[in-house]
Amino acid sequence: MDVRSRNHLTVSGRSGGPVVMLAHGFGCDQNMWRLVVPILERDFTVVLFDHVGAGRSDLSAWSKERYTTLEGYAEDVLEICRALALGPVTFVGHSVSAMMGVLAAAREPERFSGLVLLAPSPCFIDDPDAGYRGGFSAEDIDELLESLDANYLGWSGAMAPVIMGNSDRPELGEELTNSFCRTDPDIARVFARVTFLSDNRKDLAQVTVPTLVAQCSSDAIAPPEVGAFVQAEIPGSRLVTLNATGHCPQLAAPEETAAAIAAFAGGGT
CB 120 within 8 A of CB 99: yes
219 flagged as catalytic: yes
Query: Is the Cβ–Cβ distance between 226 and 133 less than 8 Å?
Result: yes
Q: How far apart are CA 268 and CA 262, in angstroms?
A: 10
Strand (E) or helix (H) holding 202 = none
The Cα–Cα gap between 104 and 9 comes to 18
Out of 24, 94, 95, 179, pick the active-site residue: 95
Q: Which of 8, 51, 94, 247 is catalytic?
A: 247
Q: For residues 266 and 269, give the distance between their C-alpha atoms in angstroms, rounded to a whole number.
A: 8
Selection from 72, 149, 85 nearest residue 111 by Cα:
85
Q: Say how far apart CA 264 and CA 258 lie, in whole Å.
A: 10
Question: Annotated catalytic residue: which of 29, 50, 203, 219?
Answer: 219
Active site residues: 95, 219, 247
